[in-house]
Structure 1
Amino acid sequence: MKLRSIPLAMALLGLCGVGLMAVAQKKDEKEVSKQEKVAAALPEKAPAEAKKKRKLLVFSVTRGFRHGSIGTGKMALQMMGEKTGAYEAVVSDDLANFEEDKIKQFDAICFLNTTMEVFLPPKGQWNKMSDEEKKKAEERDARLKKNLLQYVKNGGGFVGIHAASDTFYKWSEYGDMLGGYFDGHPWRSNTSVSIKVEKGKEKHPIVANLNGESLNFKEEIYQLKDPYDSSKVNMLLRLDTEKSDMKVKGIKRTDNDFGVSWTKPYGEGRVFYCSLGHNDYIYWHPKVLGIYLAGIQWACGDLEVE
């Protein structure tokens, strides 16, 4: 009986192997499909000529929820820089890039769907650390925060995409720099929404590619909390409350003020934020990619805005 079961076991193992190969192949095909979609949606050229070779750090560490679209976002930002020549994307989650001697090499830093305390170890690792190790980790956390703040204040660019506002709740200076914190998403990833250009900003270089037209698709839209104040930022895009479902659950704001994208100065630096970026297809939406590219170029100092 045992001898007879050996061929059967081998056959089953073979079938499992074939099954795993098929799953891997489907995954590879899916990634190729995403790459093709991104490639087809990329802007033909940058809205501004780079004054010099630019370097963009794309950072996506998460200590809370991790978006499944992060991989697609990384791909899109890297491919867009390569095609247009606007910047070189350094896609890295290495915290060493925020040390004082290394952060200076970047013209802008992009927080792509980061969440929570990204400069500290994850909870599982933290719980296993000694008191001395925790002390060193906290010292590094404080040092890297200081470096990032000074980097932007001294003229660096900062780009926040989607969950960048779901980051560093315990560090109020970050919220002040970015312009607000995440306070829930009443409009879920499968909710149809309309995003309108802020009145009077139709010709602003970052959203000029929309020609004043709205973006209509299914996407997760945030509401924001303090220090969010739309009167203190250069608002570019908002949720159109007249064309979006306002009966969804979880709406806390009573002023219908749901900003989606803005710019703001921070010291000598430039901060660009856009909350679009939950769903994968946002990263192969031609008009959204055009906004990202213009925002990055503005943060780098190449796109001039009066």
Structure 2
Amino acid sequence: MKKIVLFLCFLSASLLIRAASPQSKKPAILVFSKTQGFRHSAIGVGKLAIMKLGKENGFLVDTTENAAYFTPEVLKKYAAVVFLSTTGNILDAAQKASFEKYIQSGGGFVGVHAATDTEYGWPWYGNLVGAYFVSHPAQQEATLNVVDRGNISTKHLPEVWKRKDEWYNFKNINKDLKVLITIDEKSYTGGINGDFHPMAWYHNYDGGRSWYTELGHTEASYTDENYLKHLLGGIQYAIHKK
């Protein structure tokens, strides 16, 4: 028993030392993956991949599906919040107000894939994420055009990027978006947005930074080096690392 007590004391001391170490000065992000609609199987591997990106690139990562995290006291600890394939109505009125204040105070937002299939009745969020999901065809290979390679999230990508994923059609596309990637609807079947069909974008919004990628439905995305660098760049943009 004494050995157990000593071990617990040592563990507690170690945690306190780590909390007070320079590592605790690293920026932190919150990965939020609550779903009230369709749940993507890639959420689990997506969390692990983002945690690995954080470990390798100097930022801390917390993950949760608990909307109670959305209070001013908790959110202020994070440089950015990632909505990882969230779906449906996931925040109550007080939590929405807290998140709005967080962004207005300079917080960062990263939306991944189904973040656009979230909170259709909250116009502020629709403008933040940049568009709302309408529909998608079957998963298939398509041609992406990287129209802005000056951004930290796209500078490593080829101008023409062919990959397989689930391709969303959108409505209520924010006209102020700075588009990074578009999809060529002639390269696959099922697109309805026409010649201008954005797939990834960023913008300043209501005091904060917002970055979104439609890519990331498939579990294979989270072992794809090009995609992971794309996602990492989006996080780095959101936490003001550029």
Q: Structure 1 length as normaliser, TM-score?
A: 0.69
Which ranges of 4 or more aligned residues in structure 1 deviate by more than 6 Å? none
**Are positions 1:232 and 2:179 aligned together?**
no
**Counterpart in the other structure of 1:194:** 143
**Are positions 1:205 and 2:152 aligned together?**
yes
Of 194, 214, 217 in structure 2, the residue corresponding to residue 278 of structure 1 is 217
**Counterpart in the other structure of 1:220:** 166
**Counterpart in the other structure of 1:105:** 77
**Counterpart in the other structure of 1:178:** 129
The one-letter code sitting in structure 2 at the alignment partner of 1:60 is S
Give the match's secondary structure for 2:185. coil
The answer to whether the Cα contact below 8 Å between 1:222 and 1:258 also exists between their aligned partners in 2 is: no
The one-letter code sitting in structure 2 at the alignment partner of 1:62 is T
The answer to whether the Cα contact below 8 Å between 1:233 and 1:263 also exists between their aligned partners in 2 is: yes
Higher helix share: 1
**Counterpart in the other structure of 1:45:** none
Give the match's secondary structure for 1:81. helix
**How far did 1:93 drift?**
1.5
**Counterpart in the other structure of 1:257:** 196
Q: Structure 2 length as normaliser, TM-score?
A: 0.86
**Counterpart in the other structure of 1:156:** 107
> Over residues 213-258 of structure 1, what are the superposed CA-to-partner deviations in whole Å (9 max), with x where a residue is unaligned?
32212110111101x04x421100110234x12xx24x433x3221
**Counterpart in the other structure of 1:92:** 64
Of 50, 62, 74 in structure 1, the residue corresponding to residue 47 of structure 2 is 74
**How far did 1:94 drift?**
2.0
Give the match's secondary structure for 2:238. helix
The one-letter code sitting in structure 2 at the alignment partner of 1:236 is L
Q: CA RMSD in A?
A: 1.5
Give the match's secondary structure for 1:105. coil
Q: Which runs of 5+ in 1 are unaligned?
A: 1-51, 120-140
The answer to whether the Cα contact below 8 Å between 1:96 and 1:102 also exists between their aligned partners in 2 is: no
Measure the CA separation in 1 of the matches of 2:150 and 2:208: 23
Higher strand share: 2
**How far did 1:267 drift?**
2.0
How is 1:238-253 mapped onto 2 (pairs within 5 angstroms)? 238-242=182-186, 244-245=187-188, 248-249=189-190, 251-253=191-193
Measure the CA separation in 2 of the matches of 1:160 and 1:218: 19
The answer to whether the Cα contact below 8 Å between 1:180 and 1:224 also exists between their aligned partners in 2 is: yes
Query: Higher Cα Rg: structure 1 or 2?
Result: 1
**Counterpart in the other structure of 1:114:** 86
The answer to whether the Cα contact below 8 Å between 1:206 and 1:295 also exists between their aligned partners in 2 is: yes
> Over residues 163-182 of structure 1, what are the superposed CA-to-partner deviations in whole Å (9 max), with x where a residue is unaligned?
00000001111101111100
Aligned residues: 219
